[in-house]
Amino acid sequence: MAGSALKRLMAEYKQLTLNPPEGIIAGPVDEENFFEWEALITGPDETYFEGGVFPASLTFPPDYPLSPPKMKFTCDIFHPNIYNDGKVCISILHAPGDDPMGYESSAERWSPVQSVEKILLSVVSMLAEPNDESAANVDAAKTWRDNRPKFAEIAERTVKQSLGLL
């Protein structure tokens, strides 16, 4: 199984290097281990995270693409869909099948047709448009909902930290 996962990851890496999505750089931490990746994601234009550069890690299971990778920001980022430890919580990274909580449809969850590029683009969309109804960080979701000026202030500080300006 790991052999087919490795082939798939190598092909996805090649695609990402030949045709990288705007504002995203990603690849293996070490070309000896294609199951551990690092990524840099630029905060999308005209959002609270605009101009920031946010490092993240992706860890792929041996049965990829049957199971999704785990993604975690390796910097502080205050966002409704990012746990305090940096773990990303979006539907595309949830195991395939029906949601036991009944919140997501199986079509929104992971399937083998997804790719690293689709994950990263989904995360960029998540940065631009948080889902405060399914919060990983309740404080961030509450601030997003109830106090946008404070959310903007915290996000601006996060952007400056990501650039080494604080």
Catalytic residue selected from 89, 135, 136, 141? 89
> Is there a contact between 123 and 71 (Cβ–Cβ < 8 Å)?
yes
Question: Is 89 designated active site?
Answer: yes
Distance, CA of 145 to CA of 45 (rounded, Å): 21
Q: Which residue intervals of 19-147 are DSSP H helices?
A: 116-128, 138-146
| β strands within the chain, DSSP E | 24-30, 33-42, 53-59, 70-73
> Is there a contact between 38 and 6 (Cβ–Cβ < 8 Å)?
no
Torsion 129-134-138-143 (CA) sign: positive
Q: Which residues are catalytic?
A: 89
